[in-house]
Amino acid sequence: MRALLLAAAASLSFAHAQGIPEDVKETADMLMRAGLEDRVGYETVEDLTTEVGARLGGSEAEARARDWAVEHLKELGFTDVRVEEFTMPYWERRYEYAAIESPFPQELEIIALGNSVGTPKGGLSGEVVRFETLDDLIEAPMDDALKGKIVFVDEGMTRTQDGSGYGVAVRKRSGAANEGSKRGAIAALIRSVGTDKHRFPHTGGMRYAEDVEPIPTAALSFPDAEQLTRALERGSVKVGLDLAVKTKRQVTSGNVIADIKGQTDEIVVIGGHLDSWDLGTGAVDDGAGIGITTGAAKLILDHIEETGEQPLRTIRLIYWGAEEVGLLGAQAYAEQHADEMDKHAFAAESDFGARKIWKLDTRFGEDKLGLAREMVRVLLPLGVAPGNNMATGGPDVTPLRARGVPVVTPRQNGWDYFDLHHTADDTFDKIDPDELAQNVAVYAAMTWMAANTPGGFRAEPAATASE
């Protein structure tokens, strides 16, 4: 009987130690309500997209974005703001041009995929061979049938709330060129990885496999992919392609970091990526993430100023650099902070637009799932449902996740995200201020709880050992 009581007491005390303290939840609730009224997040996106505009990783515009960011954060009252530079290889488009040469001469709307090589000077032309899916190309025999031809992978993308259509469709972005090249093709075209039906080709990064000859590769807009398909239904089609790019071996980029100091040396990371593709002004990708996490951090900063209440952990707001071109800022951060990886208690990147958050995925220790439930319970009034424990945390926290840092993904409604993603149409006017404010509310409350929950979110070594 005594043993049982002791065990019960231990269990109670354990549960208490693991829980989110009531006063922390109360502050979270207050931050949440303030978040719904927030305009700092929205105005941050407005300022960034207006005063900088497009900001390709490694470009002079991205450098201007870092200057803007440091000034903006200081203006908002952040005192511990710095840029952590890194170097990177650089790629930019100069121009691209495509046209059906025969039998129906007309221009096609294309965009070079990031990292594509250019065509030989003066362009190239070849007969187009269409594949309904990337798998159809992968299954094509390794004979001479594609030699000297242009492969066209016409695979579509499924519209989903959670963005799960992207992973399937994006394979062709590198796959078309790599699989085409292996079979002797001279160029590769793809139907854009996107869900809209407008005449916007979607760009995006691609990588050549090590064993293939790089061939130029570009995406067609939806209407142009349809047009090329209709032309092919009528017989053989010859397309001309002229594409020029510029590369540099080494340029400077950087991550912009603002810390709100905590009582301990543990760190909670939130942020978005500062760079964008070169076509739109990077509003939903990822001005929104910058705005959402800045709005949230600013609410916490104001709370601390008002109350003098210092968080348990340091809250670190990161604007990652050069995300689109290969998570280069994220890698640099992981390298530059390698010796404090075990001090990182929690991380989340907002990089999926500005629509409402509808559930919270986590990647916590299995023994810490009670904390996820508690967090969701607090966020429930915002319409946030419980998620799974397989969160990725967002692209730029990948290196942190790989090193065992607990991460969360507040899942946003991505129904129309891939309408705009990586297109010229990704502009500020597409953002709904109230939906963005809901994100600020979630991030503010969640970050406060993450920074003030004793024990943290990693599996307890003792607890794991005892199982």
Residues that bind a copy of itself (CB under 8 A): 46, 49-54, 61, 103-107, 109, 197-200, 222-223, 226-227, 230-231, 234, 280-281, 423-425, 427-430
Of residues 278 and 349, the one with the C-beta less far from a copy of itself: 278
Cβ(125)–Cβ(239) under 8 Å?
yes
Ramachandran quadrant class, 129 (left: phi over 0; alpha: psi -120 to 50; beta: rest)? beta
**DSSP-assigned states of every residue in 218-242:** EEE-HHHHHHHHHHHHTS--EEEEE
State the minimum distance, in angstroms, from the CB of residue 398 to a copy of itself.
30
Residue with smaller CB distance to a copy of itself, 54 or 375: 54
Q: What does 430-448 look like in DSSP terms, one character per residue?
A: G--HHHHHHHHHHHHHHHH
How large is the greatest C-alpha to C-alpha distance in the chain, in angstroms? 91
Query: Which C-beta is closer to a copy of itself: that of 52 or that of 375?
Result: 52
Smallest gap from residue 203 Cβ to a copy of itself (A): 14
- List the alpha helices (DSSP H) in 96-221: 134-138, 164-169, 171-182
Which two structure tokens, joined as six digits, stand for 324?
A: 């689109």
Rounded Cα gap, residues 356 and 4, in angstroms:
47
Output the six-digit token pair for 334: 């992981």
* Minimal distance, residue 90 CB to a copy of itself, in Å: 18
And the tokens for 223?
Answer: 């209407």
Structural contact between residues 356 and 411, judged by C-beta atoms closer than 8 angstroms: no
User: Least distance from C-beta 39 to a copy of itself, angstroms?
Assistant: 15
Least distance (Å) between residue 55 CB and a copy of itself:
9
Q: Of 43 and 259, which has the nearer Cβ to a copy of itself?
A: 43
CB 325 within 8 A of CB 57: yes
* Closest distance of CB 208 from a copy of itself, Å: 29
- Which of 292, 262, 303, 324 minimizes the C-alpha distance to 456? 262
Query: What does R_g of the chain's alpha carbons equal in angstroms?
Result: 24
Nearer to a copy of itself, 55 or 368 (CB): 55
Q: How far is the CB of 422 from a copy of itself (least distance, A)?
A: 13
For residue 236, give the amino acid letter: S
CB 78 within 8 A of CB 258: yes
Smaller CB distance to a copy of itself: residue 324 or 419? 419
Q: Which is nearer to a copy of itself, 427 or 438 (CB)?
A: 427
Nearest approach in angstroms of CB 231 to a copy of itself is 6
- Tokens read off for 186: 């001279």
Nearer CB in complex with a copy of itself: 303/355: 355
C-alpha 195/C-alpha 315 separation (Å) is 36
